[in-house]
Structure 1
Amino acid sequence: MELFTVTADVIVTVLAGLAMFVGIVGIVVPVLPGSATIAVAALVWAIVAGTGPGWSAFAAITVLVALGMAAGWVLTGRRLKERGIPNRSLLIGGILAVVGFFVVPVIGLLLGFVGGLWAAEWQRLGDARKAWDTSWAAIKAAGIGILIEFGCAALALAVFSGTVIHHFVTA
């Protein structure tokens, strides 16, 4: 008698879990796709599972990741606007973050963003100290946004985990 067989449910559950892990890492390392990956993985799993709890989990996960993304954007945007940090400086920081990621893998992402943001602010403000102050404010704002999105994504993964357990225990 076989206790456990590998079915499409099991394969898709494992793949969805792995995709969600990539998504949660992608929130912290913005080169990878983040919250959207979590929602898409939940959708695929709900389609394959085809159960009411699966669809309820997908709905809850979608709400959580959307809430995390929106709250992160709104709070980050508000803080940046309060400090008068233009999008141009953030764009330059973002471009140099991508360059930094490939020059010095992983840590270069952060170094490139901070360096690019600071250089853009120094060019704009003409004062290295003021440039650091506004850059630090932008870094803290981005960090708060990432923490909020990460927290909501972690809750989404908890919903997924609970639903997966329910799915396989009641199957």
Structure 2
Amino acid sequence: MELVTVVAALMIATGIVGLVVPVLPGLLVTVAGVLLWTLDRGDRTAWIVFAICAVIALAGWTVQYVVPSRRMRAAGVPTTTLLFGAVCGIAGFFVIPVVGLFVGFPLGVYLAEHLRLRNATAAWGATKVALKGVLLSIGIELAAACLVAATWVVGLLITR
């Protein structure tokens, strides 16, 4: 197996792991791995495989933002609350290593909603909706990355 193929496979795997453990832009790294392989092969089949992977990734990125945001809007969770949660999540990432993001985001959403609604029960309900939205978003991106990886494997088998 060629070195470039091994590096591409490692990039694809790293991208998928980066989605589960949010440290890397996982789908982007996965597509970059396919692109590396495509540039090395340079043949028509490799470019077709890359084009299919790029379409899957673009569809994943689109659906990843559209579906959860519609659900959160329908549940009445404002964008400012999500932004505050994101800022608290980023701050938490630096304050509490490893788990800070997972503590900061829900805490930020809860605090923003509690200040806005002045009701702990409603704030907790909005926090649950926001967490479900984030998990759905990650799940959609993970599914797209897995489809990209599977498409690449099929392309790899076809070009062997």
TM-score by length of 1: 0.85
- Residue correspondences, number: 160
Displaced runs of 4 or more, over 4 A:
none
| SS of match in other structure, 1:60 | helix
Deviations 1:134-159 (A, max 9, x none): 11011112211211221121011011
Cα distance in 2 for partners of 1:161, 1:103 equals 40
State the partner residue of 2:132: 140
| SS of match in other structure, 1:153 | helix
Q: 1:66-145, aligned counterparts within 5 Å?
A: 66-145=58-137
Q: Give 2:85's aligned amino acid.
A: G
Are positions 1:18 and 2:10 aligned together?
Answer: yes
Structure 1 position 80, deviation (Å) = 1.3
Greater displacement, 18-27 / 52-61 = 18-27
Q: Which runs of 5+ in 2 are unaligned?
A: none
State the partner residue of 1:45: 37
Cα distance in 2 for partners of 1:142, 1:134 equals 12
| SS of match in other structure, 2:24 | coil
State the partner residue of 1:3: none
Deviations 1:53-110 (A, max 9, x none): 2111101111111111111111011011112212221111112212222333332211
State the partner residue of 2:147: 155
Greater displacement, 87-96 / 17-26 = 17-26
- Contact conserved, 2:27 with 2:144, CA < 8 A, in 1? no
- Contact conserved, 1:22 with 1:34, CA < 8 A, in 2? yes
Q: CA RMSD in A?
A: 1.7
Give aligned-pair identity as a percent. 36
Q: Give 1:82's aligned amino acid.
A: A
TM-score by length of 2: 0.90
Q: Which runs of 5+ in 1 are unaligned?
A: 1-5
Q: 1:49-60, aligned counterparts within 5 Å?
A: 49-60=41-52
- The structure number with the bigger radius of gyration is 1
Are positions 1:65 and 2:57 aligned together?
Answer: yes
Greater displacement, 40-49 / 124-133 = 40-49
